[in-house]
Amino acid sequence: QMSYYAKSAYHQAKILAAREDINKSLGSSDLTPQQKEKLKIATEARDFALNQLGLTGKGNYTQYVQLDR
């Protein structure tokens, strides 16, 4: 039987392996219009933080995972 930590690590690794680039996904037909709109809002919020607030971007909020929950 797997320990709690081993199970957690396994599931976290699955999530990390399933990451997709937001900009690439916006051009995909796999997303619904509602999903695309949410990703566009996230991208706009990130752009605002970088360009208007002067925050530094290090690749944060450029990927997502569809969890289907």
Q: Please give the model's pTM, rounded to 2 decimal places.
A: 0.76
**Please, are residues 2 and 10 in contact by the beta-carbon 8 Å criterion?**
yes
Bridge partners, 21 (sequence order): 63
**Please, are residues 64 and 19 in contact by the beta-carbon 8 Å criterion?**
yes
- Distance between CA atoms of 47 and 61, rounded to whole angstroms? 10
Query: Does position 38 have pLDDT exceeding 90, yes or no?
Result: yes
> Could you read off the pLDDT of 42-69 as tens digits, one per residue?
999 999 999 999 888 888 889 999 887 7
